[in-house]
Chain A
Amino acid sequence: MPDQPGKSAIEVRGVRKVFGTGDAQVAALDTVSVSIRENEFFTLLGPSGCGKTTLLRLIAGFDFPSEGEILLHGHDIAPLPPFKRPVNTVFQSYALFPHMTVAENIGFGLEMLGKPKTEIKARVAEMLKLVKMEALSARRTSQISGGQQQRVALARALAPQPKVLLLDEPLSALDYKLRKEMQIELKRLQHQTGITFIFVTHDQEEALTMSDRIAVMSAGKILQVGTPWDIYDRPAERFVADFIGETNFLTAAITGIGNGKARATLKSGVTIDATVAEGFQPKANATLVVRPEHAKLTGGKGDLSGTVENIVYFGTDTHIHVQLDSGEAFTVRQQNTRSAGCGFERGDKVGVSIGNDAAQVLRD
C-alpha cells in the first residue's frame, strides 16, 4: 500500500512498545508502521493480546511508544499528553463519569476546552440529537441501559469534534441484536461526521461489515492491511486467512510465477492458477488457500478427490467436510435451495473442483 503523505490522518512510523524491564520485557508492539487515511473507517483486527489496544492507547496518548513516531496530519504527537491531542476515545467500558448527568458527560470535553457556555449547550443538544438521546439528557449515567450508555460515550467523544475518533471494542458488551444496530449506527455517524474512525475489535465479522480498511494484527505485528475484500479473498499469511472466515489450506508445488499469478501443482497432480500474496518469496512448496464457497463438489472427477466425512446444515448453506485422498481436509460450502437436499451423503466418493481465480498462494 503506497503511502500518501498529507492525505493520511494518522501515520504510525516504526513504533515499538515494550512493557517491563530486563528479562520480563515484552514487546507489545514490534515495529509497527501503518498509514490511516482521512475520513476512513479503519479497523485494527486481531485476537486478544495482539497489540491492537496498545496501538490505540499510543495514538490516544495513554501510553508512549518506546520507539518510533506517530504523526497526526503530519505532526508528531507521540510525546504529547492525551489532553493535548485532538483525538477522542470511546472506551470499551464506556468510562462515563458516574457523578454527572448524560448532558454533563457530553459537555465535559468542550468545557475543558474552555468553550463558552452557550456554545457547549448548543453542541450538547446537537450531540444528544445525533445519538437520539434527547429525552434522557438529565439522567445519571447509572440510570440508563448499556446501549444508551454506549450512545452517550459516542456523543461525549464526538462532541469536541476530534480529528480522529478511537473506538476500543465499543460493542463487545452489547447483546447480539443491539450490536448489529450499533454497527449500522456507527457507520451512519462516521458518514455524517466525516471523522476518521479507528476501530479496535476481535470480531472478524464486525470488521468485515464495517470497515473501509482493516489491519490484521498478531503478536505485536501488523500482518496485512487492506480492504475487507482484500483481507478475505487475498489473505497474505496463514494467520490472516485462518482468523477471518473459514478456510481450506492445501500444500502445492509452485511451478511458475509471473504477473502476480502462480502455477500451482496440487498433491492430486492437477495444476491450477492461483494469485500470489504480496511479499511472496519464490520457493518450491507453498500453502494455497481456498475459501469453502469458492469450490464445488462434483459427483465425478474434480481437481481433488476424496470422501464425504460430514454434512452440516446451516440454514442458508450446507458445509460438506471432505477427507481428501492426499490426507488433507477440505470443506465446501454449498448454497441451499428449498426443494432439494445437498445431493451428497456421508461416505460418497466425490471430486472437488476449485473455481477459476479461487486460490491464493500465501507468503508463509
Chain B
Amino acid sequence: MASAEEVAKAAERRDIRDRWLLSAPALLIIFLAATGPLLIVLVYSLLTPGPYGDVKWQFSPEAWISVFMERDIFDDTLSVAAAHVTIFWRSIKLAIVTTLATLALGFPTAYFMATRSEKTRDLWLFLITIPFWTNLLIRTFAVLQIIRNEGLINTVLLKLGIISAPIQILFTDTAILIGMAYVYLPLMVLPIYASMEKLDFRLVEAGYDLYATRFQVLRRIIFPLVKPGVIAGSILVFIPALGAYVTPILLGGGKTMMLSNLIEMQFGQGRNWPLGSALSIAVMIIVMVALLAYVRNAGRSEMRHG
C-alpha cells in the first residue's frame, strides 16, 4: 500500500516538474521582455534627468513629485499640476467613452454573429479580423479620408443637398472617438462573441416561454451569461485606449494632448526621462487599481445574482 502511495507521489512530483519545464520558455520571455524593461523604467523614474536626455545615476524623487505636483520656479512651493491632471482625466475619459462606444456597437454585432448558421459565423469572424491585417497608421489615415471636409461623408451629404457647407468632423473630439471606436471595435467583439457562441440559446427560448420580453431576456438571461466576455472585451479596449497615441494625434490634429503624447514628450523635447518613466508607471498603477476594483465588483454582483 505504502509503495503505491509513493509511486503516486512520485508521479505527481514528475507531473509538477514537467509542467514547470513546459512553461519555462514562456515564463522566461515574460520575465525578460516584460518584467525586465518595467524594472528599468521603475529605476529610471527614481533618477535625475541628464541635460541632453538620458539619466544621471543619482537618486531623486523629483520625477514622482512632478507627476501630479508643480514646483514654483521662484519659491519652490508645490501646487497641484493642473495640466497633468487635465491630461490624465482627458485620456481616462476618452478610454471610458471608447469602451462604452465599442460595447454599444460590439454587443449587437457579437449577438448577430453568434445567431448566424455555423458556416456564416466563420465568415463573419473572418471579416472581423480583416482590419488586423492592415497597419494601424494606414487604418487611421483611411478614417481620416472618410471624415475630412472633402471626404466621403461630406461629399455625399453635399451632393444630396442635405448640408450646404461641409461639417467639420476632422480634428474634433468626435473624430477621435470615431477613430478609436473603429480601431478597438474588434477587440470588444471577439471576446463577447466567444462568450455568446457558448450561450445555450434554449435558455433564451425558456426566457421567452416564461413571459420575459425581448429586453428582459437580454437583461436577465443573455447579459449575465455573456458577462465574462463583456468584462474581457472592456479590459482589452480600455487599456490600449488609455495609451492611444496615433489615433488622437492624427484625427484630433494634435491640438489636445493625451497621456501618450505627454509621456512621449518627456523622452523627446522634454528631455526628462525620469518624469516620462514615472508617468508611465503612474498610468499602470491607475489601470491596475481600476481593473481590480472592476473585477472584484463584477465578481460580487455575480454572487449576489447567483
Point out residues on A near B: beta carbons under 8 Å.
Answer: 60-62, 81-83, 87-89, 91, 93, 95-101, 108-109, 112-113, 140, 156-157, 160
Q: Are A82 and B306 in contact (CB under 8 A)?
A: no
18 additional A-B pairs beyond A95-B203, A95-B206, A112-B212, beta carbons within 8 Å, are A62-B208, A62-B209, A82-B209, A83-B208, A83-B210, A83-B212, A83-B213, A91-B206, A93-B200, A97-B207, A98-B203, A98-B225, A99-B224, A99-B225, A99-B302, A108-B212, A108-B220, A160-B210
Complex: how many Å from CA A112 to CA B207?
A: 9
- When each residue 221-235 of chain B gets 1 if its CB lies under 8 Å from chain A and 0 otherwise, what string results? 100110000000000
* Chain A hits for B305, CB < 8 A: 99-100
Which residues of chain B are near A87, meaning CB under 8 Å? 209
Task: Encode B263-306 as 1/0 by CB contact (under 8 A) with A.
Answer: 00000000000000000000000000000000000000010011
Q: Is the CB of A112 within 8 A of B221?
A: no
How many of chain B's residues have a CB under 8 angstroms from any CB in A?
20
Show 12 A/B contacts (Cβ-Cβ < 8 Å), sorted by A. A62-B209, A82-B208, A82-B209, A83-B213, A89-B206, A91-B202, A108-B210, A109-B211, A112-B211, A112-B216, A157-B209, A160-B210
Knowing A60-B209, A62-B208, the reply to whether A100 touches B202 (Cβ < 8 A) is: no
> Which residues of chain A are within 8 angstroms of B211 by Cβ–Cβ distance?
83, 109, 112-113, 160
Residues of A within 8 A of B225 (CB): 98-99
How many A-B residue pairs have C-beta atoms within 8 angstroms? Tell me: 66
Residues of A within 8 Å of B302, CB to CB, are: 99
Q: State A99–B304 Cα separation when bound (angstroms).
A: 10
**Distance (Å) between the CB of A136 and the closest chain B CB?**
15
B205 within 8 A of A: yes
Residues of B within 8 A of A96 (CB): 206
Known contacts A95-B200, A97-B221, A99-B225: does B208 contact A156 (CB below 8 Å)? no
Tell me whether B221 and A61 are in contact (CB under 8 A): no
Q: How far is the CB of B92 from chain A (nearest CB, A)?
A: 31
Q: Indicate whether A95 sits within 8 Å of B202 (C-beta atoms), given known contacts A100-B306, A101-B306.
A: yes
Determine whether the beta carbon of A62 is less than 8 Å from that of B205.
yes
CB pair A81 B208 closer than 8 Å: yes
Whether B208 contacts A95 by the Cβ 8 Å rule is no
Question: Once bound together, how far apart are the Cα atoms of A82 and B209, in whole Å?
Answer: 5
Interface of B is mostly: helix
The CA of A12 and the CA of B209, in the complex, are separated in Å by 19
Q: How far apart sit A134 and B271, CA to CA, in the bound complex (Å)?
A: 71
Q: How many Å from the CB of A82 to the closest CB on chain B?
A: 4
Assembly CA distance A97 to B201 (angstroms): 11
Do A109 and B208 touch (CB < 8 A)? no
Q: What distance in Å separates the Cβ of B89 from its nearest Cβ neighbour in chain A?
A: 36
Residues of B within 8 Å of A157, CB to CB, are 209-210
Contact A109 B306 (CB under 8 A): no
Residues of B within 8 A of A (CB): 200, 202-203, 205-213, 216, 220-221, 224-225, 302, 305-306
Most chain A beta-carbon contacts within 10 A, residue among B203, B213, B224: B203
In the complex, what residue of chain B is closest to A62 when comparing beta carbons? Answer: B205
CB within 8 Å for A83 and B209 given contacts A95-B200, A95-B202, A101-B306: yes
Query: Which residues of A have CB within 8 Å of B220?
Result: 108
Measured between beta carbons, the chain B residues less than 8 angstroms from A89 are 205-206, 209
- Kindly list chain A residues whose C-beta atoms are within 8 Å of the C-beta of B306: 99-101, 140
User: Taking the nearest CB of chain B, how far is it from the CB of A147, in angstroms?
Assistant: 19
**CB nearest neighbor in B for A88:** B209
Q: Which of B205, B212, B213, B224 contacts A95 (CB 8 A)?
A: B205
Q: In the complex, A307 Cα to B93 Cα: how many Å?
A: 92
The chain B residue sitting closest to A166, CB to CB, is B209
Q: In whole angstroms, how far apart are the Cα atoms of A93 and B205 in the complex?
A: 12
Chain A: which residue is nearest B210 at the CB level?
A109
For the complex, give the distance between the alpha carbons of A61 and B211 in Å: 11
Closest residue of chain B to A108, judged by CB? B210
Q: Which among B200, B208, B302 has the greatest number of chain A C-beta atoms within 10 A?
A: B208
Please, how many angstroms separate the alpha-carbon atoms of A96 and B205 in the complex? 11
If A100-B305, A140-B306 touch, whether A82 touches B213 (CB-CB below 8 Å) is: no
The CA-CA distance from A100 to B225 in the complex, in Å, is 10
Asked if B209 and A97 make an inter-chain contact with CB atoms under 8 angstroms apart, the answer reads no
Q: Which residues of A are found within 8 Å of B206, using beta-carbon distances?
A: 89, 91, 95-97
- A99 and B305 alpha carbons, distance in the complex (Å): 7
Q: Which residue of A lies closest to B206 (CB)?
A: A95
CB distance from A230 to the nearest CB of B (A): 32
> How near does chain A come to B296, taking the closest CB pair, in angstroms?
18
Q: Which residues of B contact A93 (CB under 8 A)?
A: 200, 202
* Nearest-neighbor residue (CB-CB) of A113 within chain B: B211
Residues on the A chain within 8 Å of B209, using CB: 60-62, 82-83, 87-89, 157
B203 near A97: Cβ-Cβ < 8 Å: yes
CA of A62 to CA of B203, assembled, Å? 12
CA distance A89 to B221 in the complex (A): 17
What CA separation (Å) do A108 and B200 show in the bound complex? 18
